Amino acid sequence: MTLTRRKFLKAASVAALVVSARPSAGRAFELKGRMSPGPKALQAGQWGMGVDMNKCRGNCRDDCLAACHEIHNVPYIPKPEHEVKWLFLEPYENAFPERSHRFLSKRVREKNFFLLCNHCEDPPCVRVCPTQATFKRQKDGIVMIDYHRCIGCRFCMAACPYGSRSFNFRDPRPFIKKINPEYPTRHRGVVEKCNFCQELLEVGRIPACVEACKEGVLTFGDLEDPTSVVRELLSEKPHIRRKPDLGTGPSVFYIT
């Protein structure tokens, strides 16, 4: 049999398909079992947070933010255009622009609200990501980012209606005051945001901001569990969410 160019190409392309299809199937099999949670890990159906703005005095306001940004190696970049922030404060009129109106009292309008990723039930950022670098974790609903897979296309930033995502416009490392060796730093060119302290939940601790807040403003718990602190709070007090009309299902609730 003579090997013509056509036959060779045909055989080569079939071989390439077979080779490329196999390893992924094998890898998924391997990972099973190794990824089970540790004995102390906190688990939930959908983690959620309650923010009781009546309790927030605002004069200690850097505590929760600093706690988060320190342990997660979030850089402090002075230029607002290139800022990276996981937790941040915005006045009511900016946190809830669609609810703001001219008859609001000055006190309410200018009150700073504690904002973070909403870990939505149906997150648009996850829907648009072309590499699945950002994904919603099945077991507890946390919206996560794989910093090693993200290509930095920023489609998720366009899709997020909450401005929760930051892009590393520059190398973040020189802007980190003290590097926490327990958590990775990021590279320039990737997107990052709040991860509900997934790394602390794994070892049985609650998120750093909740731990840091001494006023009891922040409550954290399982939204699927009717007896959780968050659910109890929601059943007792009136609450709002950011842009609920978009149907994203935010998991962060504000008691006002």
Partner 1 sequence: MLEKTLHGGKGYWIWVFALAVCIGIGFIAYLYQLREGMWVTGMSRDVSWGFYISQFTFLVGVAASVLMVVLPLYLHDFKAFARITALSQFLAVGTLLMSLLFVFSDVGMPMRILNVPLNPTPGSMLFYDTVFLPGFMLLNLIIGWTAMGAEKREVPLQWWVKALIYLSMPWAVVMHTVTAFIYAGTPGRGFWMTAIMAPRFLVTAFAAGPALLIILATIIKTLTRFEVTEKAIQKLVTIMLYALIIDVFFLGVEYFTVFYAHIPEYALTFQYLFLGINGNCALVPWYWGMNIAILVAIGLLVIPGARTSRPVLVAACVIALIGLWIDKGFVLVPAAFIPNVFGRIMEYPPSWVELTISLGIYALGTLIITALYKVVISVREETEIL
Site residues (vs partner 1, CB under 8 A)? 79-83, 90, 93-95, 97-98, 100, 124, 127-133, 149-155, 157-163, 166-171, 187-191, 243, 246-248
Question: How does DSSP assign 41-107, residue by residue?
Answer: ----SSEEEEEETTT--STTTHHHHHHHHHHTT----SSGGG---SSEEEEHHHHSTTT--TTS-HH
Task: Kindly state the smallest distance separating residue 132's Cβ from partner 1, in Å.
Answer: 5
Task: Kindly state the smallest distance separating residue 247's Cβ from partner 1, in Å.
Answer: 7
Type of residue found at 217: V
CB-nearer residue toward partner 1: 161 or 241: 161
CB-nearer residue toward partner 1: 148 or 178: 148
List Cα–Cα distances, 7 to 19, 75, 110, 234, in angstroms.
Answer: 18, 56, 73, 68
CB-nearer residue toward partner 1: 163 or 240: 163
Torsion angles phi and psi, residue 45, rounded to 5: -80, -45
Report the C-alpha gap between 93 and 120 in whole angstroms: 22
Both structure tokens of 70:
């320190």
CB-nearer residue toward partner 1: 128 or 206: 128
DSSP 242: S
Task: Kindly state the smallest distance separating residue 131's Cβ from partner 1, in Å.
Answer: 4
Task: Kindly state the smallest distance separating residue 90's Cβ from partner 1, in Å.
Answer: 6
CB-nearer residue toward partner 1: 61 or 243: 243
Task: Kindly state the smallest distance separating residue 86's Cβ from partner 1, in Å.
Answer: 13
